[in-house]
Structure 1
Amino acid sequence: MKPVWDVVSPARPTGLPGVVLAGFRDGGAASVGQRVIPHPSVMLALDFGPGSPVVTDAAGHELRGSVVAGPGLGFGGSVWVRGAGVECVQVRLSPLLAGAVLGVPAVELDGVVALEDVWGRETARIRERLAETSSWAERFALAETLLERRCAERVLVDPEVAWAWRRILVGGGRLRVETLADEVGWSRKRLWSRFRAQVGLPPKRAAQLVRFDRAVHRLVAGEVAARVAAEGGYADQSHLHRDVAAFAGTTPTAVAREPWLAVDDVAWPGEGGTGGQDAARTSTPVSPKVSLQVSAR
């Protein structure tokens, strides 16, 4: 049986912390469709092939071509992707950069939307330029230049929100919202409001998503569910089972065989269950209180 996707990764990481790229080409079996498994990043698909990817949500609505989706796309196993003749550059984007890159607040990314609705006519120009390239290296370079330019044009998130997000990543989604609020010196209500507006999810939901993401990647790696639950911040194995069912619409045993997860180690080496480069680069985050004091001098 042919693989669902032919996957290419860049020879080097991007120069943008929080951004990872991969190239996808239909390997001959993608037309059957595959379930989207939620991930704690913003997903951007830049389509340029002869065929178009088709994204179908729970209501049966379809989107074709280049799309963008907020963190947690596919909750409940409700989103599927299929296509023939598909070629695209996929970007996993930290939610901390999403507002700058996309030009709209992350909270406005309700599910998956056509990229043209966000970037307008620039989407067609990007498709044309990608289609004119002759190698994946050129495509990755073009995408990176585009992202760097857009990041430079806009203000990023509050340092307190960035701190809270990175603490959630480093802690594997096991920190309480009250703890995060105390650390940044905000009320729980203020943290909830600012975090949701700038990341696209409330902090508790974001923590649950990160915890789920770590867990399913351990299941794919062959670890037993009992150990994953015990070490992943779940009360017990039943708690893990409920979380996997809620996020992925299937069981821990079945989710480990999902094609969507099977390509992660190929497409995103070292990044599959980390939530993006900002997790790997912030194992010891600097307190936002310290950062604000330093920048004020």
Structure 2
Amino acid sequence: MAHTVSGSMAFGTPAAPLRPYVLGYRGYRLTLHQPRRRLEVPTDVVTLALGFEGSLRLVDAVDPAPAASFGSVAAGLRRTATIAEHSGVLHGLAVSLTPQGAFRVFGPLAGDLGGQWAEAGEVLGRRLRTLSARLADAPTWPARFALLDSYFAARLADGPGWDPSVTWAWHQLRRSHGLVPVRTLVEGSGWSRRRLELRFREHLGLAPKQAATILRLQRTLAVLARSSGGPGPGAAAAGPDDERLDGARIATLCGYYDQSHLDRAFRAMVGCSPRAFLASRETAAALPEPTDRIDGRVTSAVLSPGG
């Protein structure tokens, strides 16, 4: 297992057999002089954050209902962005899981996580206390990542798998960046539209059309990041012809009717304009920790403490 340690952050690559299900580990030990606020955009990743010190305050960036605070949190696929804030002191680690991995690890509870945050103990139960204690006592980040490898290897070996038709439909959505029509998924799966939506909700927590909007947003974010020349892994989802495109061309490439449609859809999911999001990422480029949580995806922007 590869790992890197840089200042207050550490990154681990799961053992090879885990990688179809576990995308990566990220350890952090932050001691800042002021609160830190991050805008976390919708992604096709389920996150498990295990806290050793400090807590996270989470609120929806689009429809700011009362915030919720968590020591450790499981976050399913969400259609709208999240604002995550901490006091400046935070110690713990985060695990990024594919939706398939989350289903194998959490079981049917994975579907219940769609659009939700939950205290991690409600999802992992008694196992969480034992795991968290062992992780906190481990002497180094590599030792913690090795413990996580062992834990997830055991859970994945015994966990339930996806229905093959859901696997096929999800692959079609990801391959097309969310642009394949739902009727094509219905025809290919052999199910009715209602049946397909029910099975998707059981496995991912979202209907196919909702999952498609997340994948389309991720493609849009990657192309925007590459076209702006700013920080981010735009090359992961954007080809060499995507550089320095204007707004109309980006809209067409990513499946929107026009630039106005793109802007409206972006605001509805992220809570700000594409221009404001990219400006926040430019500001964050000088910070010591990486802007994005997951390699190969545009996931985040760092916000001003009072912004």
Contact 1:26/1:83 (CA < 8 Å) preserved in 2?
A: no
- 1:234 matched to which residue of 2? 256
Contact 2:14/2:22 (CA < 8 Å) preserved in 1?
A: no
CA deviations on 1:232-256 (whole Å, 9 max, x unpaired) are: 1111111111111011000011122
Name the TM-score, length of structure 1 as normaliser.
0.80
Contact 2:103/2:203 (CA < 8 Å) preserved in 1?
A: yes
**Residues 175-254 of structure 1: matches in 2 within 5 Å?**
175-221=180-226, 222=228, 223=244, 224-254=246-276
Worse overlay, 94-103 or 78-87: 78-87
Amino acid at match of 2:297: G
3-state DSSP of counterpart to 1:239: helix
Contact 1:68/1:113 (CA < 8 Å) preserved in 2?
A: yes
1:46 aligns with 2:50: yes
Specify which structure has the bigger relative contact order, considering alpha-carbon pairs within 8 angstroms and separated by 6 or more residues: 1
3-state DSSP of counterpart to 1:33: strand
CA deviations on 1:144-184 (whole Å, 9 max, x unpaired) are: 22122111112211010011111111111100110011122
Structure 1 residue 14: Cα displacement? 4.7
Structure 1 residue 121: Cα displacement? 2.6
Which of 64, 68, 72 is matched with 2:70 structurally? Answer: 64
- 1:277 matched to which residue of 2? none
1:135 aligns with 2:140: yes
Amino acid at match of 2:191: W
Q: Does the C-alpha gap of structure 1 residues 12 and 132 become closer, same or farther in structure 2, counting only changes over 3 Å?
A: same
- 1:272 matched to which residue of 2? 297
Structure 1 residue 265: Cα displacement? 7.1
Structure 1 residue 186: Cα displacement? 1.9
Give the total of aligned pairs.
266
Gaps of 5+ in 1: 275-297
Query: Alignment identity in percent?
Result: 32
Contact 2:58/2:84 (CA < 8 Å) preserved in 1?
A: yes
Contact 2:162/2:203 (CA < 8 Å) preserved in 1?
A: yes
Worse overlay, 166-175 or 128-137: 128-137
- 1:114 matched to which residue of 2? 119
- 2:12 matched to which residue of 1? 10
Structure 1 residue 192: Cα displacement? 1.3
- 2:130 matched to which residue of 1? 125
Q: Does the C-alpha gap of structure 1 residues 161 and 30 become closer, same or farther in structure 2, counting only changes over 3 Å?
A: farther
Structure 1 residue 25: Cα displacement? 3.0
3-state DSSP of counterpart to 1:141: helix
CA deviations on 1:110-161 (whole Å, 9 max, x unpaired) are: 5101001112232222221111122221122212221221111122110100
> Over aligned residue pairs, what C-alpha RMSD do you find?
2.6
1:153 aligns with 2:154: no
Amino acid at match of 1:19: V
CA–CA separation in structure 1 for the residues paired with 2:284 and 2:168: 28
Q: Does the C-alpha gap of structure 1 residues 55 and 37 become closer, same or farther in structure 2, counting only changes over 3 Å?
A: same
CA–CA separation in structure 1 for the residues paired with 2:208 and 2:143: 37
3-state DSSP of counterpart to 1:63: strand
Amino acid at match of 1:107: G
CA deviations on 1:211-265 (whole Å, 9 max, x unpaired) are: 0012113223325433321211111111111111011000011122445997767
Structure 1 residue 202: Cα displacement? 0.2
Which of 81, 92, 95 is matched with 2:96 structurally? Answer: 92
CA–CA separation in structure 1 for the residues paired with 2:12 and 2:55: 22
CA–CA separation in structure 2 for the residues paired with 1:111 and 1:71: 8
Q: Does the C-alpha gap of structure 1 residues 92 and 258 become closer, same or farther in structure 2, counting only changes over 3 Å?
A: farther
Structure 1 residue 72: Cα displacement? 1.7
Structure 1 residue 19: Cα displacement? 1.5
Amino acid at match of 1:8: A
CA–CA separation in structure 2 for the residues paired with 1:261 and 1:201: 31
3-state DSSP of counterpart to 2:178: coil
3-state DSSP of counterpart to 2:129: helix
Contact 1:67/1:114 (CA < 8 Å) preserved in 2?
A: yes
Name the TM-score, length of structure 2 as normaliser.
0.78
Gaps of 5+ in 2: 1-6, 229-243, 300-307
